Chain A
C-alpha cells in the first residue's frame, strides 16, 4: 500500500502557511561559538533538531545560516542550543506561522 504525501521536510513545510515579517525574529548572538566550539563539542545540533530546518551550517562562510521564514515557532532552539547563542523571540504580533489545524 502506498502512502501519498510529503516525505521530505521541504515538502512538509509546503503544507504550512505563514505571514512573513521583513526582518528576522532569530539572531545568533555569538557566531564564533558555532564555528569554534560547537562543531567539535556538539556538532551543531540545531542543524538536526530544528523541525523546520531553520539552521544550516555554511562551511564556506563558517557560520550558521538562519532561514527564519521556515520557523514554526516550536521554541526548541531556545533550550536545545548548547551555548544558548540563539536569540529567538516571538515574531511581531500577527506575523509568523499560522496553523489552520494545529
Chain B
C-alpha cells in the first residue's frame, strides 16, 4: 500500500499553498481537486493580495502570474437608488510594496488557481484533478487518509489537510465541527464577467494599461439585506456582482439574479458597463460567520484551512489571502510534525498557534461581533447611505437658501428619519463591532 506524507483536499489558494510548502520541504504530497482543472469550481469577486501570494511563490509577479490589473484606486459608494456618496483612495505608487510586489490585484479564479496549483506541481506535489473526495479514512482513532470517488481510490497519508472550501462536508466527517453552518453565517455572491475592450475600461475608470479600480457599493443595491455590490476591473472585462446573507435572501425572497440585474441597471453602474457583453455568470457561497463560527482547526492527523475553516474577513473583502497564509502555515506545521515523527493533535496544534500569531486569527477575532450585527441590522447601510446622500444633495443644491438654513433643514430631515438617540446607538453598535 502506497502511503503519502500528506493528502491535500482542494487545489484552491489554501490547498495549493499547503501543497507547495510541503513539497518544497521534500514531503510526498498529493493534491486532490474535484474540478477537471484547479479553479473550475471556484469563484470570488476578484481581489487577490500580493504579500501573501509572495510568501508562497516569491516574486510571483515576474513569473507570468495571471494578474488582471493592479489596483491603484479603491472606491466605496454609499448608494441610494439613483445617487451615491463616494469615498476613494488612489495611489499608483502605493499600489506596490517596496520590493515591487503588487499590494492588491484583480484575478479570475479559473485562471489564477490553475497557475497557482501549477506551482505546487513544480515543487513536486502530485496534482490529481477530476477527483472528488467522499470521506476521510480513520485508523486507530486518527485521520489516516481519504476515500475518493475513484475505483480503488483510497489515499493513505500521515496527515490530511482539508482545503475543500465553503460548506465542507469533510470538516464534519473529520469531527472538527459538530453543528451545521447557519444561514446567517453564509452569504451568496452572484457575479457576471462583462467583456469590454481594455481601452474602454481605461477610459471609463480613468486608469492606464495594467492599472485597475475596485468599487464597493453599499446601500440600496442590496435591497435591505446585509451585503454589498462590487465592480472590479480586469484586463478586458469588468466583474460586477453582489453578495448578501443567505438568511436575508430566505426572508426577502428576492432572487439573487434579480438583485444582480438591479445592480447592473443602477444609473451609476450602467454607464460603466454599457456595450459590454456578459462572458460568464457565476455564483458561490461565502463563509461569513467569522471567528465564532470557525470549526476546530486541527485534530489527530488532520488540519483545515481557507473557506472550509470560515477564514473570511467580510468587512475588508479578504479571504483568499487568509487562505494562502493558513495553507502555508498548515504546510509548515506538517513539515515540523514530519521531523518529529508525530502527527497527533498535540503536535498539529502548532498550526493554531501559528495562526494566532498571524493576521489571520487576529483580524477574525477583532471582527468577531460583526457577523451578528450584520444579521440583526440589515437596515444600517441603507439608512446611513440615505442620510449621507440627503445631506450631500442639500448642501450641493444651490437654490438661494442660506447655508445655515440648509444645515438646519438637513438636521431636521435626518432626525425625522432617525431620532438622535437611535443614530447614536447605531453608531455605537457599529463602533463596538469594528473597534
Stretch at the interface among A10-18, A29-37, A56-64: A10-18
What are the residues of chain B within 8 A of A49 when measuring CB–CB? 188, 246, 249-250, 253, 255-256
Question: Of B85-93, B276-284, B310-318, B382-390, which binds chain A?
Answer: B276-284
| Contact status B283-A19, CB under 8 Å | no
* Given A6-B281, A94-B36, A101-B282; A79-B183 close (CB under 8 Å): yes
Beta-carbon contact of B250 and A92 below 8 Å: no
Given contacts A45-B253, A51-B188, contact A93 B43 (CB under 8 A): no
Residues on A with beta carbons closer than 8 Å to the beta carbon of B279: 15, 100-101
- Specify which chain B residues have a CB less than 8 angstroms from the CB of A93 in the assembled complex: 34, 129-132, 148-150
Q: What is the CA–CA distance of A78 and B246 in the complex, to the nearest angstrom?
A: 11
Q: Are B42 and A51 in contact (CB under 8 A)?
A: no
Distance in Å: Cβ of A77 to nearest Cβ of chain B: 9
Contact assessment for B167 and A79 in the assembled complex, using a CB-CB cutoff below 8 Å? yes
Do A48 and B254 have beta carbons less than 8 Å apart? yes
Contact A80–B274 (Cβ < 8 Å): no
> Which residues of chain A from 1 to 24 have any CB-CB distance to chain B below 8 Å in the complex?
1-9, 12-13, 15-16, 19
Interface flags for B225-263 (1: CB within 8 Å of A; 0: not) read: 000000000000100000000100110011111000100
The complex places the Cα of A62 from the Cα of B222 at a distance, in Å, of 32
- CB under 8 Å from chain A, chain B span 138-186: 148-150, 165-167, 169, 180-183, 185-186
Q: Specify which of B41, B190, B256, B271 is in contact with A99 (CB 8 Å cutoff).
A: B41
- Pick from B109-117, B208-216, B330-338, B404-412 the stretch touching chain A: B109-117
Chain A residues whose CB sits within 8 angstroms of the CB of B198 once the complex forms: none
* Residue B295 is within 8 A (CB to CB) of chain A in the complex: no
Q: Does B217 contact A (CB under 8 A)?
A: no
Q: Report the separation of the CA atoms of residues A6 and B277 in the bound assembly, to the nearest whole angstrom.
A: 9
Any B CB within 8 A of the CB of A42:
yes
Q: Is the CB of A79 within 8 A of B182?
A: yes
Q: How large is the interface on B (under 10, 10 to 19, 20 to 34, 35 or more residues)?
A: 35 or more
Smallest CB separation, B130 vs chain A (Å): 3
What is the interface of chain B mostly: helix, strand, loop, or mixed?
mixed
The verdict on B73 contacting chain A, using a C-beta distance below 8 Å, is no
Q: What chain B residues lie within 8 Å of A98 (beta carbons)?
A: 35-36, 40
Task: Evaluate contact between B253 and A51: CB separation under 8 angstroms.
Answer: no
B275 at the interface (CB under 8 A from A): yes
Q: How many A residues touch B, CB cutoff 8 Å? A: 44
* B129 with A94: CB separation less than 8 A: yes
Alpha-carbon distance A3/B253, docked complex (angstroms): 26
B192 touches A (CB below 8 Å): yes
Assembled-state Cα–Cα distance A91/B110 (Å): 18
Residues of A contacting B181 with CB < 8 Å? Answer: 78-79
Of the residues B110, B132, B254, B283, contact of A90 by C-beta under 8 Å: B132
Looking at the complex, which one of A7, A73, A82 makes contact with B250 (CB distance below 8 Å)?
A: A82
Please indicate which of the listed interface residues A4, A48, A49, A97 has the most CB atoms of chain B within 10 Å of its own CB.
A49
Contact across chains for A48 and B255 when beta carbons are under 8 A apart: yes
B273 sits at the interface (CB 8 A): yes
B17 within 8 A of A: no
Contact status A48-B253, CB under 8 Å: yes
The interface residues of chain A lying within 8 Å CB-to-CB of B277 are 4-5
21 contacts between A and B (CB under 8 A): A1-B275, A5-B277, A8-B257, A12-B281, A15-B192, A16-B280, A51-B190, A74-B188, A75-B284, A76-B285, A79-B285, A90-B34, A93-B132, A93-B148, A93-B149, A94-B35, A101-B110, A101-B237, A101-B280, A102-B39, A102-B109
**Which residues of B approach A to under 8 Å, CB–CB?**
34-36, 39-44, 108-111, 113, 129-132, 148-150, 165-167, 169, 180-183, 185-186, 188, 190, 192-194, 237, 246, 249-250, 253-257, 261, 264-265, 270-271, 273-285
Q: 9 nearest interchain CB pairs?
A: A94-B130, A102-B109, A51-B283, A102-B110, A12-B281, A5-B278, A1-B274, A93-B131, A75-B167
